[in-house]
């Protein structure tokens, strides 16, 4: 569906990615990592400085404007709606522009306004809506096109929990029907839960691309055990720990759960000393990304 | 134009009209404001000519006639070219990125989704008023041929100014900000065009005839109908060139646009 080969533009440098049809790819990265630039490159709004891009089998820069309903895009700050319109008028206008038949519009509108629950303010002008309300209409607008490819730039900004739930549910349904989705966010937890693949982007580089599961098994098998001791600090030289930190009666151990189990560690410690408290922490995705950045930087530095 | 495109044109226009009627008093007020703002220039001419009788041989009504063409063409032009006049804004507020991805002609969307009817009515209204005041008093014996000539002159004048806007909008793709260029090459030139071009120094005349050819918007068409003495210093062919220059300039500006649009860079966030 989308192929980027050694693409460079602004912060993006020598970027490779292939997104097959039917995947929902979450772009994760901090602000300024290059997420929006990537989406613009994929859509044809930006031309790459170097490299090769194909979107739905076409060169998006040369053939922008020919995608019609094949591609739906929402970029922050580039609203698809006219401010002085009501939600219904704004969506109807898009139907005229994209040549969507009237009957289809009515059907889609009924369904989407119901699911995003904006019926109660459908008579208000877009400019009078709150950020979250507006976002619901905005998302309904791109989904109404039923595109083959949907590009979304931080669509969860301003959405409340109900809005997010409705949004992700619809995305999941559309993906099952074959829609390809690329969605960026700086909320990794949310996105990794809903996307079939995640792409970690940092300073224009692709740090990781694959399922969340693979990310966890590959990079983040490091667990943390925190103990409060009531006695001497035990000798742990026989355990394959990554590292440990001791601070007064607190002991913090970092270990690879594939190499040594929590039970083994606790067993050895209890032989030597008394323990008041034990806590095992599985790292969350944010910790993992931080860790991954560290790993990659080391790898890069070693290569130099 | 395909019927579907015509349909969208109609929908865009209906929408703008609707906004216009929704804010009726505001709309009226804005049109009146434009009308009065522009009319002050005319009032200055009026008082000047009360004192001096004529400017380079042009009396008050002839001056009004000259002005009427300027306002009529601007009034019509602004219906179609607002999106290009305000192209910097169109780019900045993200509308342009939106248009560029849609399955419709880019210029088509810019032209028909934006139309400044307030300015159109203000300027056009002033043009009509000036025409009505002056047309009877400048000694033109109107016939069918003159009416046809006049129509073509207006079309040409609209295209000349439209081409200037299109050209300046295209420059926006290369330069970040062109509003001062627009001020300099369009609005200032337009102020000069309120007077017979023969009044000015040679360099300004050259500018008005060959560079930013406002002289062909109102001076030469007026001369065709009025035949004032100061026409002798210009080739007679100039009287007939307005539509040709309008079409030529528009085509040139269009190709410049088509060529340049490939270099358009979407702004970052």
Contact: B101, A45; criterion CB under 8 Å:
yes
Taking residues B148-161, report their average pLDDT. 97
* % residues pLDDT > 90 (chain B): 57
Helix A102-115 / helix A87-97 crossing angle, nearest 10 deg: 140
Q: Are A148 and A70 a contacting pair, CB within 8 Å?
A: yes
- The per-residue pLDDT for range A34-80, each reduced to its tens digit, is 999 999 999 999 989 999 999 999 999 888 888 989 999 999 878 89
A179-183, A185-189, B72-76: least confident range: A185-189
Q: In this model, does residue B142 exceed pLDDT 80?
A: yes
Domain coordinates in residue numbering, chain B: 3-263
As a whole number of angstroms, the distance between CA A243 and CA A221 comes to 14
Contact: A93, B15; criterion CB under 8 Å:
yes
Using a CB–CB cutoff of 8 Å, tell me whether A10 touches chain B: yes
Chain A to chain B, count of Cβ pairs less than 8 Å apart?
A: 55
pLDDT category at A151 given cuts 50, 70, 90 is very high
Q: Which residue of B has its CA nearest to A44?
A: B101
Q: Which of A44, A73, A76 sits opposite B269 (nearest CB)?
A: A76
Query: Which helix (DSSP H) or strand (DSSP E) does residue B41 occupy?
Result: helix B24-52
- pLDDT of the residue at A302: 47
> Which of B202, B125, B198, B209 lies closest to B160, judged by CA?
B209
- The per-residue pLDDT for range B86-111, each reduced to its tens digit, is 888 888 888 888 899 999 999 999 98
Q: In this model, does residue A297 exceed pLDDT 60?
A: no
- The per-residue pLDDT for range B226-260, each reduced to its tens digit, is 999 999 999 999 999 999 999 999 999 999 999 99
Q: Which residue of B has its CA nearest to A99?
A: B4
As a whole number of angstroms, the distance between CA A141 and CA A151 comes to 13
Contact: A45, B97; criterion CB under 8 Å:
yes
Using a CB–CB cutoff of 8 Å, tell me whether B268 touches chain A: yes
Q: Which of A45, A47, A65 sits opposite B102 (nearest CB)?
A: A65
**Residues of B with Cβ-Cβ distance to A77 under 8 angstroms:** 94, 269
- pLDDT of the residue at B16: 84
**Residues of A with Cβ-Cβ distance to B7 under 8 angstroms:** 96
Q: In this model, does residue A289 exceed pLDDT 80?
A: no
3-class secondary-structure state, position A162: helix
| Burial readout A271-286 (b: 16 or more C-beta within 10 A, e: otherwise) | eeeebeeeeeeebebe
- The per-residue pLDDT for range A224-268, each reduced to its tens digit, is 888 898 888 888 888 888 878 888 888 888 888 778 888 888 888
- pLDDT of the residue at B258: 92
3-class secondary-structure state, position A101: coil
> Which of B90, B98, B108 is the mutation pick for testing A, counting most A CBs within 10 A?
B98
Mean pLDDT across chain A, nearest whole number? 88
Q: For residue A37, what are the contacts with CB-CB under 8 A and spacing of at least 6? A: A9, A10, A11, A12, A46, A204, B268
- pLDDT of the residue at B147: 94
The dihedral region occupied by A99, where left means phi > 0, alpha psi between -120 and 50, and beta the remainder, is: left
**Top-ranked range on mean pLDDT: pick from B26-30, B135-139, B176-180, B203-207:** B203-207
- Answer with the residue of higher pLDDT: A294 or B9: B9
């Amino acid at each position: 569906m989308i192929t980027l080969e050694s693409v460079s533009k602004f912060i993006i440098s020598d970027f490779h990615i292939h997104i097959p049809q039917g995947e929902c790819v979450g772009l994760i990265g901090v602000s300024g990592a290059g997420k929006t630039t990537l989406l613009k490159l994929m859509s044809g709004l930006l031309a790459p400085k170097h490299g090769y891009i194909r979107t739905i089998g076409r060169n998006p820069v040369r053939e922008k404007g020919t995608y019609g309903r094949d591609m739906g895009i929402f970029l922050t700050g580039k609203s698809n709606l006219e401010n002085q319109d009501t939600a219904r008028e704004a969506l109807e206008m898009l139907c005229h522009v994209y040549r969507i038949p009237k009957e289809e519009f009515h059907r889609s509108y009924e369904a989407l306004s119901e699911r995003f629950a904006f019926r109660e303010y459908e008579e208000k002008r877009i400019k009078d809506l709150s950020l979250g309300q507006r976002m619901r209409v905005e998302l309904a607008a791109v989904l109404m096109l039923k595109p083959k490819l949907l590009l979304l730039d931080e669509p969860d900004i301003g959405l409340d929990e109900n809005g997010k739930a409705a949004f992700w549910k619809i995305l999941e349904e559309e993906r099952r029907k074959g829609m390809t989705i690329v969605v960026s966010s700086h909320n990794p937890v949310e996105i990794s839960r809903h996307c079939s693949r995640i792409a970690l982007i940092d300073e224009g580089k692709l740090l990781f691309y694959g399922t969340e599961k693979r990310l966890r098994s590959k990079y983040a098998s490091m667990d943390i055990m925190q103990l409060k001791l009531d006695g001497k600090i035990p000798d742990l030289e026989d355990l394959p720990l990554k590292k440990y930190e001791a601070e007064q009666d607190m002991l913090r151990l970092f270990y690879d759960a594939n190499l040594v189990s929590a039970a083994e560690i606790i067993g050895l410690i209890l032989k030597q000393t008394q323990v008041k408290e034990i806590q095992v922490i599985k790292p969350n995705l944010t910790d993992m990304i931080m860790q991954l950045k560290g790993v990659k930087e080391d790898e890069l530095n070693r290569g130099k | 134009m395909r019927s579907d495109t015509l349909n969208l044109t109609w929908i865009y226009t209906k929408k703008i009209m609707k906004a216009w009627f929704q804010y009726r008093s505001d709309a009226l007020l804005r049109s009146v404001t434009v009308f009065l703002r522009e009319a002050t220039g005319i009032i200055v001419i009026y008082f000047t000519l009360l004192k001096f009788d004529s400017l380079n041989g042009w009396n008050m009504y002839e001056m009004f006639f000259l002005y009427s063409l300027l306002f009529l063409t601007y009034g019509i032009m602004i219906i179609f070219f607002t999106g290009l006049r305000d192209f910097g804004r169109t780019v900045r507020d993200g509308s342009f990125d939106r248009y560029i991805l849609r399955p419709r002609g880019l210029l088509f969307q810019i032209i028909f989704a934006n139309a400044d009817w307030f300015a159109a009515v203000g300027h056009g209204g002033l043009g009509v008023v000036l025409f009505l005041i002056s047309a009877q008093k400048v000694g033109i014996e109107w016939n069918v041929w003159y009416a046809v000539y006049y129509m073509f002159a207006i079309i040409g004048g609209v295209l000349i100014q439209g081409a200037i806007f299109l050209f300046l909008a295209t420059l926006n793709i290369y330069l970040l900000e062109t509003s001062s260029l627009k001020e300099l090459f369009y609005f200032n030139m337009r102020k000069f065009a309120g007077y017979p071009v023969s009044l000015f120094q040679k360099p300004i005349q050259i500018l008005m005839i060959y560079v930013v050819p406002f002289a062909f918007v109102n001076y030469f068409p007026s001369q065709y109908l009025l035949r004032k003495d100061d026409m002798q210093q210009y080739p007679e062919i100039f009287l007939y060139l307005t539509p040709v220059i309008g079409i030529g300039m528009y085509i040139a500006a269009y190709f410049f646009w088509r060529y340049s649009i490939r270099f358009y860079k979407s702004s970052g966030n």
